[in-house]
Amino acid sequence: GAVVSQHPSRVICKSGTSVKIECRSLDFQATTMFWYRQFPKQSLMLMATSNEGSKATYEQGVEKDKFLINHASLTLSTLTVTSAHPEDSSFYICSAGTGDVTEAFFGQGTRLTVV
């Protein structure tokens, strides 16, 4: 199956700093990438949808100035958590779509801890 690589898998940062998470589709072109966050024992929550070359569409309640998403190419999307605070600590997961809505391939996820 298609491979999506997400990096880093774990990151610890100080409160107030910014963290960038990368999501790459290794063997296919991802026309759409999705970013999710997941709190312990809760379902995945969609944060935003990004299409290559255009601005991301954010879900209600997600601060676009805090969670910056860039989808500069068909194989790379980045999520930057700006001015991170402890409440931003979570598991962030990306998934990449090929254009077939039934296909979505997940990255490995990033465990962010803000101290």
Nearer to other proteins, 11 or 82 (CB): 11
Q: Name which of 82 and 108 has its Cβ closer to other proteins.
A: 108
Q: Which of 11, 44, 62, 68 binds other proteins (CB under 8 A)?
A: 44
User: Strand 32-38 to strand 57-58: parallel, antiparallel, or no bridges (unpaired)?
Assistant: unpaired
Alpha-carbon distances, residue 86 vs 1, 19, 32, 69, 91 (angstroms): 36, 13, 29, 20, 13
- Per DSSP, 25 falls in state E
How far apart CA 88 and CA 67 sit, in angstroms, is: 10
Q: Which stretch binds other proteins (CB under 8 A): 13-21, 36-44, 64-72, 73-81?
A: 36-44
* Minimum distance, C-beta of residue 54 to other proteins, in the bound complex (Å): 17
Rule CB under 8 A: is residue 74 a binding residue for other proteins?
no
SS3 state at 88: helix
Q: Does 13 bind other proteins (CB under 8 A)?
A: no
Q: For other proteins, which is the closer residue by CB, 54 or 65?
A: 54
- List contacts with other proteins (CB under 8 A): 1, 6, 41-46, 91, 93, 101-102, 104-109, 111
